[in-house]
Amino acid sequence: MEFPQYPPEELERRRQAHQVPRASLYRGAPPRPDTWKAPEVRLAGPRERIEEVDAYLVASIQDFAWRIECGVQDDSAFSLGLQNAWYGASQALVEPFGGELIPNVTDPNHWWAKPAVSNLAEALKLREPRELGPHLTRALELIAYMRESVEGAYPVGGIVLTSPFDTASYILGFQPLMEAVYERPDAVHHVCKLVTDFLIRLIPMCLKASNPSLTEAEIAKAGTGLCSETRAVISDQILAEFETPYLKRIRDEFGSLGVHSCGNWVHHMPRLVAEGYADSTDFGHPECDFREAVKIVGGAISIYPTTNVSSSAYQLPPEEWYAQVLDACSDETKLTIDVPHECVNAYNAAFQRLEKEDRLAAPIRNLGPLLGPDHPSRLLLPVPTGGKVS
């Protein structure tokens, strides 16, 4: 069933039908959570309804409306996200190569990948897979389901994908991969090339599931993003040989590339971003030197100040960490504000301190402090379990 891209007037009509208000910044007194009436959200689509996904769609759209009412977000950046618990996140990339996806019973949003091969001789025999595997197939179905449910009125985020080198760590196992870097680099290159070819085939499927009307020319300019769990612990030499050539292929295929890495990877930013292998970056770990990152990549950086804000072993007190983040931002820095409810006061204290010292970048200063604990910047969304959609 095809759903075309709607012209602006039709898109506006559909937004109104879903009763989600449009606004830039809330100018009056902010509403209170205990008195605010959430807008009714009506879902559509031809498929049999999936209760957990529907609940998340409704809560996400209502949360979006709440943030507009509170003046912490306009409607330009809203999208509906595919939840990791429903398909296994990037670890699902191991299945097409013969590996196994193992659920995490204590945290449904984080899965494990059981390697596809037991030795490097088997790795050299791998070929590009013909099938996606059950979880990636399910993820594409869910993207289409979500798009149909809101009749194309809101963009739907895609599958979390990792770089070829990271995906190779799922296929081989991390320790065998790192040993192979030194002992059998040909095997690592073989697997990274296979994964690159597979991602170049998979990414258009994700884009088309979210927007079936995209043409080949539009897909070639759509851009994409890749995550990494290993980049923080590899050397620049390993990055140069086993990462950047494959990232460049993907970037060239889709016009632009955004990269995200867990952990401290500022030392790789000169090569990845400043030398043009990626077009944008994001990270949120407190151990990263934000000042150095902003100095290296300027406006190409996007900072998500939420990751491990209360639990990292490297953590400063929350107020000091937010002060470091805000002080590092230039007028060109892209900063996504999504502060946990329990840290709103710490964020505001950091904001007010830097404001008095005239050390806030203009976009941060213009946004103003976040609403206090009585006015959380986000509603509490349901926690996905994956049990009813797997």
At 335 the pLDDT is: 61
The count of domains in the chain is 2
Q: Answer whether residue 65 is part of any domain.
A: no
Residue type, 244: T
Is 359 inside any structural domain? Answer: yes
CA distance 24 to 27: 9
| pLDDT beneath 50, residues of the chain | 1-6, 15, 18-28, 74, 306-314, 373-374, 380-381, 383-390
The answer as to whether 350 is a domain residue is yes
Q: What is the pLDDT of residue 28?
A: 45
CATH of the domain at 185: 3.20.20.210
- Residue at token pair 């891209």: 5
Domain boundary among 234, 261, 282: 282
Please check whether residue 151 lies inside any domain of the structure.
yes
Q: Which range marks the domain in which residue 323 is found? A: 284-378
| Final residue in a domain of this structure, among 230, 257, 282 | 282
Q: Tell whether 180 and 215 lie within a shared domain.
A: yes
**Gyration radius from the chain CA atoms:** 22
Say yes or no: 308 and 258 in one domain. Answer: no
245 belongs to a structural domain: yes
Looking at the structure, tell me whether residues 131 and 173 fall in a common domain.
yes
118 and 136 part of one domain: yes
What is the predicted pLDDT for the residue at 261? 82
Predicted pLDDT of residue 344: 73
CB atoms within 10 A of CB 238: 18
Q: What is the sign, positive or negative, of the torsion defined by CA atoms of 207, 208, 213, 216?
A: positive
227: CB partners within 8 A, 6+ apart = 90, 160, 161, 162, 163, 166, 259, 260, 261, 262
Q: Do 264 and 289 lie in a common domain?
A: no
Task: Mark whether 97 and 220 lie in a shared domain.
Answer: yes
User: Do 109 and 215 reside in the same domain of the chain?
Assistant: yes
DSSP letter string over 100-142?
EEE--SS-TT--EEE-S-SSHHHHHT----SS--HHHHHHHHH
Instruction: Verify that 102 and 152 share a domain, yes or no.
Output: yes
Residues 237 and 291 in one domain: no
Q: Is residue 219 part of a domain?
A: yes
pLDDT of residue 153: 80
pLDDT over 70 percentage in the chain? 74
- Domain limit, last residue, from 250, 282, 314: 282
pLDDT of res. 189: 98
**291 in the same domain as 274:** no
> Considering the domain boundaries, does residue 184 fall inside one?
yes
Residue 262 maps to a domain? yes
Residues 346 and 324 grouped into a single domain: yes
In this predicted structure, what is the pLDDT of residue 307?
44
Query: Is the same domain home to 150 and 237?
Result: yes
pLDDT of 165 reads 97
Q: Which of 154, 208, 211 is nearest to 12 (CA)?
A: 154
